[in-house]
A = this chain, B = another copy of it.
């Protein structure tokens, strides 16, 4: 499948490499390809994954049947605007609206009565937005076997077919289909985005970002 990832941070790089490793045709979009390519972290990653092409943001939507938003939460809408026409496309939003303006731990720039996922769906009503993967560290997103036994990843969105496409990609990354929990419409992006503070607290308990949560039913 042709997939475009927006963002060259650790989440974008990790997901793009993992999806390319599963046979998908990947591009990663960035505002300034030349500047990004000279960053040491990006150069090292490009050398390890030569099949993943770094392209200008404006070329991403044309390439991707699926567009993965891995930019920072606050920059999401602007990044998708810059990506081109996403009408009809599956937009998998893995971002969190981290606000570090008051230091660590961060607050959220959007919360409680709205979410980045909902903002994105409102800004692009013809796109099929699916919120997913934003409840864990990048390493666990791309390799759920880092956490033993059953644990869960969430999808939320208004388009059932788009959620099925995203679930297929999650399966490619190693998530068993039974570990993908459908939380309903895009409003549930609020549920997973507001989990961020608890995720930070649990990282303190676990002593490592390599953890996740499991829903345990009574």
**Interface residues, chain A, with chain B CB atoms under 8 Å away:** 105, 107-108, 111-113, 140, 146-151, 154, 156, 181-184, 187-188, 190-192, 194-198, 200-202, 204-206, 208, 210-218
Which residues of chain B come closer than 8 Å to A212, judged between CB atoms? 216, 218
Complex: how many Å from CA A190 to CA B212? 19
CB distance from A79 to the nearest CB of B (A): 23
Partner of A215, one of B111, B191, B194, B213: B213
Partner of A201, one of B183, B196, B201, B205: B183
Could you name 25 residue pairs across A and B whose Cβ atoms are closer than 8 Å?
A105-B187, A107-B112, A107-B113, A108-B112, A111-B112, A147-B216, A151-B216, A156-B201, A183-B202, A184-B204, A190-B197, A192-B198, A202-B215, A205-B215, A206-B215, A206-B217, A206-B218, A210-B217, A211-B215, A211-B217, A211-B218, A212-B218, A213-B214, A213-B215, A214-B216
Complex: how many Å from CA A109 to CA B147? 35
Complex: how many Å from CA A188 to CA B192? 17
Complex: how many Å from CA A105 to CA B206? 31
Asked if B213 and A213 sit within 8 Å, CB to CB, the answer is yes
Copies of this chain present: 2
Closest B residue by C-beta to A192:
B198
Which residues of chain B come closer than 8 Å to A182, judged between CB atoms? 205
Partner of A140, one of B105, B107, B218: B218
Asked if B201 and A191 sit within 8 Å, CB to CB, the answer is yes
For the complex of A and B, 6 pairs with smallest distance between CB atoms: A210-B218, A191-B197, A191-B201, A191-B198, A183-B201, A147-B218
CB distance from A171 to the nearest CB of B (A): 18
Partner of A205, one of B150, B181, B214, B218: B181
A151-B216, A211-B217, A214-B216 known; A183 vs B206 contact (CB < 8 Å)? no
Closest B residue by C-beta to A146:
B218
Partner of A216, one of B112, B184, B211: B211
Which residues of chain B come closer than 8 Å to A196, judged between CB atoms? 194
